Amino acid sequence: MQLHLGPFQGITDVWFRKAYQQYFTGLDKLYTPFFGGIHNLNSKHFRSDELSPLLNDAGILVPQLLTNSAIELERFALQCHGLGYSEVNINMGCPWPQVTSKKRGCGLMPYPGMVESLLSVVKDLPVKVSVKCRLGMYDVSELSTLLPIFEKTGVSELIVHARTGKQLYKGHAQADALAPLIANCVIPIVYNGDLFESADSGRLGNKLPRIAGMMLGRGLLADPFLAADIKGLACELDNKERAEVVKKFITTLTGQRLKGRRQVKAVPGPMKELWWYLSSSFDQPVRVWRQIRKAALLEEFLDVQAEVFSQYEWIGSGFARKFLQNEEEFSLD
Ligand SMILES: Cc1cc2nc3c(=O)[nH]c(=O)nc-3n(C[C@H](O)[C@H](O)[C@H](O)COP(=O)(O)O)c2cc1C
C-alpha cells in the first residue's frame, strides 16, 4: 500500500519536507502545496526553493498546480519536466470560496466541459498528470460524471478527498460513498480523508480493498510517526524515544527555516501552524498550544518550543483523539 503526504499550504514547504524525510520513514510520495499564476515559462516559481532539484527529491515529490487552463498546465508540466520531475498534480479539491468562485479547485468539479478542456493536453505532456479532487463541490454525482473524462484524457492517478467542497473540512469523510464509484475505475485511486491512526488505515483497507494507496494529512501533521506506524516500521520506539525524535525534527525544521528566511521574525508563524496539529499529540494539548500560541517574539518562541518537550509527555495519535471529542470541548483557540 502506497502512502502519500497531502500538501498543506503554509506548512509542508520544502523545509518541512526535508526535515521530515531526515527523521521519519514510510512515505512513498509527497506533494508541494499548490502553485498558481504561472503566466509564462520564466515564472519565478521555477527558480524557487520549493521546486529546486538541489533541495527536493524529484523522485518522490510531485509539484501541484491550481488551474483551470490547459495552457497553464502545459507550461507548468514542461518546466517541471525540465527540473527533473516525472509527475505533476492538479488541485481540484481546494474548497475556499475565493478559489471556487473562479471555477478553480473544487469549484471546477461541477463543470465537466471545462475539466475535459483542461485535461485535453495531458496525453501530449512529457510527465504524468494526476488529479486531487473531492467527491464533488456539492455532491458525489459530480465525481461520477468526471470519472470517464479522467479515464479518457489519461489521468495517471486520482486522489479523492472523500468530502464535498461545501463540507470544507467539517463533518466526516465519506469513504462509503466512494466505494461504488470506483468499483470499475481503471485509474489507480488514492484515498484521502480522516486517516488519523494506524487502525483507521486497516478499517479503510477493508472498506475500499481496490485502492492503490492512501494519502495522509492532518493525522501525520499531528503525529509524524503515522506513516511508519501504518507500515509497522517504528514498533520498537516507545513514547519517550518518539518525543526525542519529534524534538530533533522540530529543532532541525526551525533551524532550516531560520536559515532560509530573510525575515527571521516571520519564522514562528509557519511553525505555529504546525504546532496547532502537533500539540494534540501531547498529554496536555490545550496547555501546549496556549504556551506556543502566546510566544510572540522569536527568542521566546524558541525557548517555549524546547520547554514543552520537557514539561509535557508525548503520547502520539493526537488528531484521532481530537476528532473523537466534541470540537467545542477540545477547541484549541
Ligand atoms: C491548512 C490547509 C492547507 C491545505 N493546503 C492544500 C494544498 O495546497 N493542496 C491540496 O491539494 N490540499 C491542501 N489541503 C488539504 C489536505 O492536503 C488534505 O487533503 C485534507 O486535510 C484532508 O485530509 P485529512 O483528513 O487526512 O487531513 C490543505 C488543508 C489544510 C487544512
Secondary element (H or E) of residue 3 = strand 2-5
Q: What does the alpha-carbon distance between residue 63 and residue 85 come to, in Å, rounded to a whole number?
A: 8
CB neighbours of 129 closer than 8 A, spacing ≥ 6?
Answer: 73, 77, 87, 88, 89, 90, 119, 122, 154, 155, 156
Nearest CA to ligand 1 atom 3: 8
The three three-digit cell numbers of residue 236, written as one number:
520498537
From the centroid of its chain, how far is CA 267? Answer: 20
Residue 141 and residue 131 in contact, taking contact as beta carbons nearer than 8 Å: no
pLDDT at 264: 81
Q: What does the alpha-carbon distance between residue 333 and residue 318 come to, in Å, rounded to a whole number?
A: 16
Secondary element (H or E) of residue 158 = strand 158-164
pLDDT at 109: 98
Nearest CA to ligand 1 atom 14: 8
Residue 130 and residue 91 in contact, taking contact as beta carbons nearer than 8 Å: no
Query: Ligand 1 centre and the CA of 236: distance in Å?
Result: 30
What's the predicted TM-score (pTM) here? 0.96
Q: What does the alpha-carbon distance between residue 146 and residue 109 come to, in Å, rounded to a whole number?
A: 8
CB neighbours of 233 closer than 8 A, spacing ≥ 6?
Answer: 25, 26
Which of 8, 61, 131, 226 to probe ligand 1 with, by most ligand atoms within 8 A of CB? Answer: 8
pLDDT at 331: 44
Q: Report DSSP letters for 211-259, one per residue.
A: -SEEEE-HHHHH-TTHHHHHTT--TT--HHHHHHHHHHHHHHHHHHHHH
Count of CB atoms situated within 10 Å of the CB of 265: 11
Domain 32-194, CATH number (from 3.40.50.2000, 3.40.47.10, 3.20.20.70, 3.40.50.1400):
3.20.20.70
The three three-digit cell numbers of residue 288, written as one number:
501546549
Could you read off the pLDDT tens digit of each residue along the chain, which spans 333 residues?
A: 899 999 999 999 999 999 999 999 999 999 999 999 999 999 999 999 999 999 999 999 999 999 999 999 999 999 999 999 999 999 999 999 999 999 999 999 999 999 999 999 999 999 999 999 999 999 999 999 999 999 999 999 999 999 999 999 999 999 999 999 999 999 999 999 999 999 999 999 999 999 999 999 999 999 999 999 999 999 899 999 999 999 999 999 999 999 977 678 888 999 999 999 999 999 999 999 999 999 999 999 999 999 999 999 999 999 998 877 755 444 443
Q: Please state the three-class secondary structure of 185-213 as a single string.
A: CCCCEEEECCCCCHHHHHHHHHHCCCCCE
Which of 9, 167, 226 to probe ligand 1 with, by most ligand atoms within 8 A of CB? Answer: 9
Residue 88's SS3 state is strand
Q: Which atom of ligand 1 is nearest to the CA of 173?
A: 25
Q: What does the alpha-carbon distance between residue 311 and residue 287 come to, in Å, rounded to a whole number?
A: 10
- The interaxial angle of helices 285-294 and 298-311, nearest 10 deg, is 160
CB neighbours of 64 closer than 8 A, spacing ≥ 6?
Answer: 7, 31, 32, 33, 34, 35, 88, 89, 90, 91, 132
pLDDT at 263: 76
Query: Ligand 1 centre and the CA of 247: distance in Å?
Result: 24
pLDDT at 330: 42
Give the domain ranges of the chain. Answer: 32-194, 239-311
Nearest CA to ligand 1 atom 29: 8
Q: Which atom of ligand 1 is nearest to the CA of 218?
A: 27
Q: List ligand 1's pocket residues with C-beta within 6 A.
A: 6-9, 33-34, 64, 91, 93, 132, 161, 169, 192-195, 216-219
